[in-house]
Amino acid sequence: MARTQIELSNDVAAELAGPGDVIMKTLEVALDADVFLRGNVLTLDGADREVEMGRTVVSEITDLVRQGHDIAPGTIEAITGALEQHESPSRILEDVVWRHRNTKIAPKTVNQKRYVDAIRENTVTVGIGPAGTGKSFLAVAMAVAALSRREVSRLVLTRPAVEAGERLGFLPGDLMAKVDPYLRPLFDALYDMLEPEKVNQHLDRGVIEVAPLAFMRGRSINDAFIILDEAQNTSPEQMKMFLTRLGFNSKMVVTGDVTQIDLPTDQRSGLKVIGDILEGIEDIAFIRFGGEDVVRHKLVQRIVAAYDAYQHGKR
C-alpha cells in the first residue's frame, strides 16, 4: 500500500471539487484507490500501481485545466483509458471536432480518436459497435464541421425504417411526420450542434436532407457528407445500393451495431456482409468499438458487457 499527497493549483482543486463530488467519485472508481481533497492538497491512498497511475492522471488533469478544458466525469475516464493504452490523453481530448456555444465535441476514447481520424482520411468509414460509443454523434459532428468549412455543400442523413418495412404510406402525416420516429436520433444530434432555426433553414433549403434509406435509390450524390445510421438493419442489397450512391467530392460514414439487428432471422445484415467484402480496400476504413468506448452512464457499459458475455455463452 502507498500514500502520496499532491499540492494542486486553485484552478485544478476547484475543478476536482465540482458539484456533488462527482469528479472525485469518478476518480476513485477509475483508480481503484481512496482519494481525498482537503483545500489544495489531494491525497491518494491505495496500491503502488494505482497511486502511481493517480499521479499521472492528476498531472494530465493539471495540463488540461491550464489549456482551458473543463473537467467532467468523462474526462477522467478518457484520461485513464488513454493511459492504459499508452496513448496521450491530451492528443485525444484536444482534437475538437465541433464547437457550439459552450459545447466542445471531441473524442473521449482512443477508438473515437481513430474514428474521427479515419473519417478525415478516407472517403468511406464504417463504425461498428454497441450503443453509446459515439458512432452517430461524432459522425454528425464531423458532417456539420465539413458543411461549415464548405468542404461539402450539403448533408444527407439516412436510416433504414425497418419497423415500417420501408413502406411508410400507412403512417399519418406528410413525409417528415412519417419518418420522424425513425430519424429522430439524427435530428436530436443536429439540434445539439446547431441552432434550431439554422437546422430548420437548412432542411427547408435542402442543405440538410434527412430521409429513409429507400429514398436513396437511383441517385448519385455529389459534394455531400452522407451518413447511414443503424446500418445493421440493411439487407446486403440495400447496403450495396447505398454505397453505390457515392458521387464526386462526397464522403460516406456507415454506423451500426451488429448485436441489435431487427431484420427477420433468415435475412443477413448488410453491415455484417460489408466487412467480408470491403475490408482491406483502399480508401475504406473499418473502426470497431467495444464496451470500453461507451461514453454514456457507467451502467450502460455494464449492460453492454453483460449482453456480450451472454451472447458468448450461448455460442
Asked whether residue 228 falls in the same domain as residue 143, the answer is yes
Q: What pLDDT shows up at residue 301?
A: 66
In this structure, are residues 73 and 41 in contact, taking their beta carbons and an 8 Å threshold? Answer: no
Asked whether residue 134 falls in the same domain as residue 204, the answer is yes
Asked whether residue 24 falls in the same domain as residue 150, the answer is no
Residue with cell 468511406: 124
Q: What pLDDT shows up at residue 168?
A: 43
In this structure, are residues 157 and 175 in contact, taking their beta carbons and an 8 Å threshold? Answer: no
Residue finishing a domain among 54, 73, 92: 73
Asked whether residue 112 falls in the same domain as residue 249, the answer is yes
The pLDDT profile of the chain, 315 residues, written as one tens digit per residue, is: 788 999 999 988 988 887 777 888 888 888 888 998 999 999 999 898 888 888 888 888 888 888 777 777 777 878 888 888 888 787 787 788 998 877 788 888 888 999 999 999 999 999 999 888 889 999 999 999 999 999 999 999 998 876 544 444 444 445 555 555 667 788 888 999 999 999 999 999 999 998 888 888 888 999 999 999 999 999 999 999 999 999 999 999 999 999 888 888 888 999 999 989 999 999 999 999 987 777 666 676 678 778 878 877 766
Within 10 Å of residue 219's Cβ, how many Cβ atoms? 12
Residue finishing a domain among 73, 88, 122: 73
Q: Is residue 239 part of a domain?
A: yes
Q: Is residue 179 part of a domain?
A: yes
221 pairs with which residues across the strands? Answer: 246
Asked whether residue 140 falls in the same domain as residue 30, the answer is no
Residue finishing a domain among 52, 73, 94: 73
Q: How far apart are CA 108 and CA 293, in angstroms?
A: 8
Structural element, H or E, at residue 298: helix 298-314
Q: Is residue 111 part of a domain?
A: yes
Asked whether residue 292 falls in the same domain as residue 245, the answer is yes
Asked whether residue 177 falls in the same domain as residue 257, the answer is yes
Residue 156 exposure: Cα atoms within 13 Å on the Cβ side: 25
What residue numbers bound the domain in which 172 lies? Answer: 105-314
Beta-carbon contacts of 35 under 8 Å, excluding residues fewer than 6 positions away, are 24, 27, 28, 42, 43, 44, 45, 54
Asked whether residue 20 falls in the same domain as residue 112, the answer is no
Q: Is residue 280 part of a domain?
A: yes
Q: Is residue 99 part of a domain?
A: no
Q: What is the domain-level CATH number for residue 14?
A: 3.30.1370.10
Total number of domains in the chain? 2
Q: How far are the Cα atoms of 117, 158, 231, 308, 310 from residue 186, in angstroms, in the given order?
A: 21, 8, 13, 26, 30
Q: Is residue 225 part of a domain?
A: yes
Asked whether residue 249 falls in the same domain as residue 157, the answer is yes
Identity of residue 168: L
Asked whether residue 189 falls in the same domain as residue 276, the answer is yes
126 pairs with which residues across the strands? Answer: 254, 286
Asked whether residue 50 falls in the same domain as residue 157, the answer is no
Beta-carbon contacts of 167 under 8 Å, excluding residues fewer than 6 positions away, are none
Asked whether residue 110 falls in the same domain as residue 53, the answer is no
Q: What is the domain-level CATH number for residue 282?
A: 3.40.50.300
Q: Is residue 123 part of a domain?
A: yes
Q: Is residue 79 part of a domain?
A: no
Identity of residue 230: E
